[in-house]
Amino acid sequence: MSLKKAGLIVFLILLVDQCTKIYIKTHFHLNESIQVFGLDWFQIYFVENEGAAWGTKLPGEYGKIALSLFRLIIAPLIGYWLYKSVKENAPKLLIISVSLIFAGAVGNIIDSLLYGVFFESSDNGNIASFLPGGGGYESPLYGKVVDMLYFPFIKDATFPSWIPFLGGKTFTFFNAIFNIADMAISTGVGMLLVFNKKVFPKTENA
């Protein structure tokens, strides 16, 4: 697989990721949701998070900046892995997987690095504008990641009473809210795990 094709995958993922994030950020109130095709289990639900993929948050005052710096360090390493894989004519599945992971990582870096500078805050029922006259809501590296894809397949279900600690409590499956970048990362990692033998073929000893 050529570097050009890998680059096209990265570009398309980033394009869709950023277009959806910018649209949601500039058209939705924070925590506003709509049902897609009238389906209760498929919603566009606008939230922002300061943490890692799938809304995971690092504790402490410096958790956010530590995560942003980690992303800035790890993304070039993934990019180099992608470049090296193409040049060494690695299996196509490996190149596609790494392309997805790289695109997802860069997509969320853009949010952390630039969204706080270029957008208004979405707090207090405000619909954010791009390049506000009073400046953005945060300094670089402190921007919040925009999430919007929500698939609550099972809502307000109750654990059976016989389950220890959880019996009688309600739950929602699947309650994570995520974005296209998160999806790309998860898909890429999933492909590496599922097709492990194909993406990392063993070389036979001569």
Residues designated catalytic: 147, 182
- Quote the CA–CA distance of 139 and 38 in Å, as a whole number: 38
- Which of these, 26, 4, 6, 21, lies nearest to 182 by C-alpha position? 21
- Which of these, 133, 110, 107, lies nearest to 120 by C-alpha position? 133
Q: Considering Cα of 29, then 31, then 36, then 38, what sign does the dihedral take?
A: negative
3-class SS of residue 131: coil
Contact 94, 67 (CB under 8 A): no
Contact 112, 143 (CB under 8 A): yes
- Quote the CA–CA distance of 112 and 145 in Å, as a whole number: 6
- Which of these, 4, 39, 48, 38, lies nearest to 146 by C-alpha position? 48
| Per-residue tokens: 192 | 């590496």
3-class SS of residue 172: strand
- Letter for the amino acid at 79? G
